[in-house]
Structure 1
Amino acid sequence: MSLHLFSVTHSEQGLDAVARAARRTRGLGEVLRAVDHVEGALVLSTCNRVDVYTDIRGHIDGIDGDRIDGGAGGETVGRVSALLSASGVRPGHHEGREALTHLFSTACGLDSMVVGEREIIGQIRRAAETAKREGCLSGPLARVVEQASLVSRQVARETHLAGDGRSVVAVALGLAEESLPPLPTCRVVLVGTGSYAGAVVAALRGRGVREIGVHSASGRAARFADSHGLSAVDDVAFSGAVAGSDLVVCCRGNGEPALTREVVAPAVEGGRLTVLDLAITCDVAREVADLPGVTRIDLAQVREAAPATSALDEELAWNIVRNGVEDFLCEERARGLDPAIVALRMHISDAVEEEVVRMTNRHAGITSDHEAERALRHLAARLVHEPSRRAREAAAQGRSEQYLEALEMVFGIHPE
């Protein structure tokens, strides 16, 4: 496997760059999968990052290497980078161990706007499901996501980083409460039914909110409402629903404002309205915040209000991430020797079969041949056991090449 990451994040390029890159993510996995030598692609687009992971053939040292060769692999990396730069944002590029570390730390919320948030691992899993549905999820990428999930659960279990209040939604709602009546009494309209909408609904219900309507210009509101026990708001009823609400939460992010001055102005005449804009590409028109009675809270404000974390917890989490990376690399190196073990088993099995045939031809009709055959097969299993164990040991110690050389020297086996 050759893992490459092309990344635009809030911490490196800023939220505006993330927003520009996010506009070009629809169908991107399938586009990348069509590029020569790209075995798989996974696109993760959240409120503060666009990360594109690719599995590319042509890498010298596999997942644990640091260099691209001068042939197909290097050319493919250049083509993928150019494709992603078409948004006007040049993504950062990492490979091998660095890319793995980034994904695992992201899965644990260590790279999030709100450190320790748990929503991100769900978004990673949904990105993997989308890639699988589109035929873009290679086996190695699937294994990477599974290991990221394990590492994320360990961090949540062994540190305090996943505590209450450590999520973008939680921080945003905390800011909103300053301008709202008690949340359990609030009427809320949710705009958007994408990957983040479910997390918003869970956070609202966790704070006692019961009256939640959902609107989607794409027509998916009814299905989302049914699956989450909400009321659907169609296009005709949207303005009225906004006028009758205390809080509007926007997480659509398709590049066009969902809340415009024309929609909001009549809704706040003589009243108040709080709006949470949690989309990367703003769902709320800028002039809405200037209307009397409107309080608008966006991602920049959430970032400023994010709770501090313990340095001890962060260091412990990073140690878990680093150990998770090493465990994964060790498993992948061992997996790389599987063809050698298969070849060794076949080599010994073929020798046994030849001996069984020779013995049967020489002693035709003697029933004790069956006992001899079983004994030979048992011997073959014993002979291959120790080389199999030592193969995993060699992989764990980074001596796979030495093992393959020894296999060739002793048995004349040349596994692909």
Structure 2
Amino acid sequence: MASHHDLDLSVLERLSADTHAVGREIVTGCDSVAGAVVLATCNRFELYLDVDDAADAESARAAVAATVAARSGYPAQRVAAALVPATGQRVVEHLFAVASGLESMVVGEREIAGQVRRALTAARRDGTTTSDLEGLFQAASRASRAVEHGTGLGAAGRSVVGVALDLVEDGLPVWSDVRCLLIGTGSYAGASLAALKARGCADVVVYSASGRAGQFAAQRGVTAATDDLAAALTGVDLVVACSGAAGAVLDVDALIRARSAEASIGARPLAVLDLALQHDVDPAVGELPGVRLVSLTTVADQAPDGHSATVAEARALVAATAAAFERTRRTRQWNPPVVAERRRVLEQLATAVDQLDERAARRLRREVRSALHGPTVRARAAAADGDAAAYASALADLAALAVPPAAAPAPAAAGSPR
């Protein structure tokens, strides 16, 4: 996993190149990896792998480094150093915190919950998910909802686009008079449009180099721009760019042409928000007179402090939820040998009671079930706690149980009171 906490956004941008191909290539190219979900957002790049055996974790990490290196152009050694490995409960707690907005650039933002869901959907589409990954990501979505409902974190509607709009608000007309060009038609463009409308900005024109602006605009009650980006830029006060296209969509030449067309009436101040990880806007745009450029780096520097009582409460809830998930997962994972031993004893019991009268059969059933109860409870409690030694001891006690084919009472479990 790699995020804005540890890496420059430019490095994350390179790591995130061709995201969905990475999951498929790792699963098909590495025998030890059964499944993969790739979570790539504007401030993180994370791969969640279902590895068949913990002993294969290092080979899986090497496969990830090689695959991401081939896509990003970075040496495999640099990729391996950038991606921090994690296993077990640490992975669970981290994903739950991510889905709850606790690891976001803007702590408490809600867009990440949808991005986590879409990452799982993409893995399903690519055929790279597994039952364990399904369970993990679905539990992360439930944890996110529990944090929002239990602490109110996220209710304030803080987001990357919200912070970016706050940064340029003072230089804009009142929101009802702002004319905005929205570049992009994806899910983040939809979230950005919702944020603009919530502030009262109704004059929004949508541009898409892919040709999807018409459908996007019609579904949301805004206007689609023509294919001429320079023409679409004329007369706007604000540009919000979040297409995620490979390479800059808005370059200096297009903006100069648009502002030259306004020269006769005086080009108005322009705020440009580049909210795409793979920059939609040429950074040189920020050097033009009268233009203020806000990027994700600016947002990261200006985002509100994530240290508060609410955030601390949310982190405690995430930790408790992750621990409960791990207890349930271990109990389920370690349960088959327990079930097998119980089935063996109960099959012996069924054979034995056929040879007994009703009263003796009732007594034998009661004694056998009592003998099974103690080690079964201990085995499952040890599994939940991850206590391998206690689990092995309880399982050995179950394995020692046997029902004789005669009318004798069942033996007590090893080490149990007589």
Q: Provide the TM-score with structure 1 as the length reference.
A: 0.81
CA change 1:407–1:239 in 2 (3 A) is same
CA change 1:345–1:219 in 2 (3 A) is farther
CA change 1:390–1:31 in 2 (3 A) is same
CA change 1:136–1:111 in 2 (3 A) is same
CA change 1:341–1:210 in 2 (3 A) is farther
Q: Secondary structure at the match of 1:27?
A: helix
Q: Secondary structure at the match of 1:94?
A: coil
Aligned equivalents of 2:382, 2:110: Cα separation in 1: 37
Structure 1 residue 243, shift from structure 2 partner: 1.4
Match of 2:145 among 153, 162, 168: 153
- Describe how 1:166-315 pairs up with structure 2 within 5 A: 166-236=158-228, 238-268=229-259, 269=262, 270-272=266-268, 273-315=270-312
Aligned equivalents of 1:407, 1:8: Cα separation in 2: 40
Structure 1 residue 397, shift from structure 2 partner: 2.9
Alignment correspondent of 2:405:
none
State the Cα deviation string for residues 223-276 of structure 1 (Å, max 9, x = none). 43344344333424x432221432221112233111122322232233223211
Alignment correspondent of 1:141:
133
Aligned equivalents of 2:187, 2:85: Cα separation in 1: 26
- Describe how 1:16-415 pairs up with structure 2 within 5 A: 16-34=10-28, 35-59=30-54, 69=55, 72-86=56-70, 87=72, 88=74, 89-90=78-79, 91-96=82-87, 97-159=89-151, 161-164=153-156, 166-236=158-228, 238-268=229-259, 269=262, 270-272=266-268, 273-344=270-341, 346-348=343-345, 350-351=347-348, 354=351, 389-399=377-387, 402-411=390-399
CA change 1:352–1:81 in 2 (3 A) is same
CA change 1:401–1:184 in 2 (3 A) is farther
Letter in 2 for 1:8: A
Aligned equivalents of 1:262, 1:312: Cα separation in 2: 48
Whether the 8 Å contact between 1:114 and 1:306 is mirrored in structure 2 is yes
Whether the 8 Å contact between 1:186 and 1:211 is mirrored in structure 2 is yes
Aligned equivalents of 1:163, 1:175: Cα separation in 2: 21
RMSD (Å), alpha carbons: 3.2
Letter in 1 for 2:344: H
Aligned equivalents of 2:343, 2:219: Cα separation in 1: 52
Structure 1 residue 294, shift from structure 2 partner: 2.2
Q: Secondary structure at the match of 2:58?
A: helix
Aligned equivalents of 1:328, 1:10: Cα separation in 2: 27
Aligned equivalents of 1:209, 1:374: Cα separation in 2: 77
Q: Provide the TM-score with structure 2 as the length reference.
A: 0.81
State the Cα deviation string for residues 335-368 of structure 1 (Å, max 9, x = none). 1133134424532553366468x66xx9xxxxx9
Aligned equivalents of 1:201, 1:290: Cα separation in 2: 26
Letter in 2 for 1:21: L
396-405 or 207-216: bigger deviation = 396-405
Whether the 8 Å contact between 2:378 and 2:394 is mirrored in structure 1 is no
Letter in 2 for 1:101: E
Whether the 8 Å contact between 1:39 and 1:138 is mirrored in structure 2 is yes
Q: Secondary structure at the match of 1:120?
A: helix
Aligned equivalents of 1:412, 1:196: Cα separation in 2: 60
Whether the 8 Å contact between 2:379 and 2:395 is mirrored in structure 1 is no
